[in-house]
Amino acid sequence: MDSATFRLLGHQFVDWITDYRQRLETLPVMSQAKPGDIRACFPKTPPAVGGRLKEVLAVLEKDVMPGITHWNHPSFFAYFPSNTSYASILADIVASGLGVQGMSWQTSPAATELEEVVMDWLRQMVGLSAAWTGVIHDSASTATLCSLLCARERASGYSQNSKGLQSGEAPLVVYASDQGHSSIEKAALLAGFGRNYLRLIVTDDVHAVRMDLLKSAIESDLAAGLRPCAVVAAIGTTGTTALDPLKDIAELAKKYHLWLHVDAALAGTAMVLPECRWMWEGIEASDTLVLNPHKWMGVGFDFSAYFVRDVQHLIRVMSTNPSYLRTAHDGEVKNFRDWHIPLGRRFRALKLWFFLMDVGVEGLQERIRRDLRNAQWFKAQVETLKEWELMAPVTLQTVCIRHVPEPMRGDEAALMRHNLEIARQINDSGKAYITPSVLKGRQMLRVSIGAETTERRHLEALWGDLQRFSSEE
Ligand SMILES: *Cc1c(COP(=O)(O)O)cnc(C)c1O
């Protein structure tokens, strides 16, 4: 492709994205495609001759769009918000345009140094002390894996440099809530702890980890000759945004010398509001923390923020280049390839920079407050009707509900079918998208609020549809 064609097509594609965003609200939120539908639109063999990029726009419209679920739709209430702001789209274009690999300072000093700058901005924005240093990861899943690897290596005295998992020492144990994200389980398994040594602690009525059970689990493991190693606290569980009692967990971690990782992937964004910071009281006593600006904040995927207090330990675990450590110690430059698993890294710092230049911290705070108010409004509607139940406290932007018609009360199987059917009707209608999910054996409807474009009227429409489908069903 020559430059003139790139310029022409580039403008066309930006126009296309803009038109898409403008008509987003008119599209069915959840893709109605059936398995194989999209695959069948494409030839089985690659294009033999090029020069056909001009055809792509039409094919995008006709064959790709039907297979898209519109995560930035104002009536997207499924999973979690995945806000990809205009500003971050532009930053992604610039990052791709520059096409740099920022694995070390030398490979593009600006990629490293702008990352230092924006991660320090983010640290300040969520009220963390200067004892924390941040690095951008692709996802919370890999950040949590890194954290548990660091936990393993601290407890084992850097066993990876000798016998690793084969050293024959007593097994190390990891603790987390039974409401923790699946990435915690995955990280513990991939880090080699073994399922037998992962304790998912039962939670209380508000779905926070039970401290009495956590303590007794640690003590019985100690009595059995095992080595309690790490605890992962969830600040905002995936199911209900429950808050584990971080301050108490931190005290326990200190007493038993446990590594403490905090998973605030979604809820971390709320800490931009000073009035929400009580939710993670105790954070300064933890070792590592992950939060995802690529969820509710507005920075498009991928941008996960991993904060650590002991940078040297992280580098000692993640770097395979001992000579490099000397540069790290002098503190002059950072080589971020030694701060996580991949070597290569995109220039993702641009996204947070552009985003903040566009909305400012105050603009972001206003939007988060709007979402919190919308969630409280929705909760208040649910409370006005006897047949609707709240399944969990509404701490942030997630509202967990179910419909309980009088004749079905107490019949969990019937309630499950009934609520699944409501979710199916909502989602098939294309007007909104919610997630049916099971909380401790009980079927619920999860309404996760916080797309950039979601206003009160979208929630009013959803509430109307929920009532209509629940009474028709
Ligand atoms: C979304 C989420 C994750 C996983 O995030 P990825 O960045 O997709 O790996 C982990 N924990 C919690 C609490 C989450 O909400």
- Judge whether 130 lies within some domain: yes
**What is the distance in A from the centroid of ligand 1 to the CA of 250?**
21
Query: Kind of pairing, strands 76-77 and 198-201?
Result: unpaired
- Judge whether 351 lies within some domain: no
Per-residue model confidence (pLDDT) at position 329:
45
**What is the distance in A from the centroid of ligand 1 to the CA of 199?**
19
Q: Name the one residue in this structure whose structure tokens are 């995802």.
A: 292
Spatial CA neighbour of 432 closest among 403, 452, 461, 457: 461
- Judge whether 20 lies within some domain: no
Encode pLDDT of 209-265 as tens digits: 999 999 999 999 999 999 999 999 999 999 999 999 999 999 999 999 999 999 999
Query: Kind of pairing, strands 433-439 and 76-77?
Result: parallel
Structure tokens at 424: 């199916």
Encode pLDDT of 308-328 as tens digits: 999 999 999 998 875 544 555
- Judge whether 412 lies within some domain: no
The residue contributing the CA closest to ligand 1 atom 8 is 139
Spell out which residues line ligand 1, taking CB within 6 angstroms. 80, 139-141, 181, 183, 234, 236, 238, 263, 265-266, 292, 304
CATH number at 117 reads 3.40.640.10
Encode pLDDT of 368-387 as tens digits: 999 999 999 999 999 999 99
CB of 66 within 8 A of CB of 32? yes
- Judge whether 459 lies within some domain: no
Encode pLDDT of 49-63 as tens digits: 999 998 999 999 999
**What is the distance in A from the centroid of ligand 1 to the CA of 292?**
7
- Judge whether 361 lies within some domain: no
CB of 290 within 8 A of CB of 280? no
Sign of the C-alpha dihedral computed for residues 189, 193, 196 and 197 taken in this order: negative
Per-residue model confidence (pLDDT) at position 323:
57
Spatial CA neighbour of 237 closest among 303, 184, 298, 294: 184
Q: Name the one residue in this structure whose structure tokens are 């401790």.
A: 440
Average pLDDT, the chain: 95
Task: Report CA-CA distances (Å) from 63 to 12, 45, 125, 295, 392.
Answer: 18, 17, 42, 27, 40
Residues of the chain with pLDDT > 70, as a percent, come to: 98
Q: Which domain holds residue 252?
A: 100-346
**What is the distance in A from the centroid of ligand 1 to the CA of 183?**
7
Atom of ligand 1 nearest to the CA of 295: 1
Atom of ligand 1 nearest to the CA of 181: 11
Considering its fold, how many domains does the chain have in total? 1
Ligand 1 site-directed mutation target among 244, 269, 292, most atoms within 8 Å of CB: 292
Average pLDDT over residues 268-295: 98
pTM here is: 0.96
- Judge whether 255 lies within some domain: yes
Encode pLDDT of 87-100 as tens digits: 999 999 999 999 99
Encode pLDDT of 390-448 as tens digits: 999 999 999 999 999 999 999 999 999 999 999 999 999 999 999 999 999 999 999 99
- Judge whether 423 lies within some domain: no
**What is the distance in A from the centroid of ligand 1 to the CA of 2?**
40
Per-residue DSSP letter, 247? H
Atom of ligand 1 nearest to the CA of 141: 9
Per-residue DSSP letter, 105? G
Rounded CA separation 52/451 (Å): 35
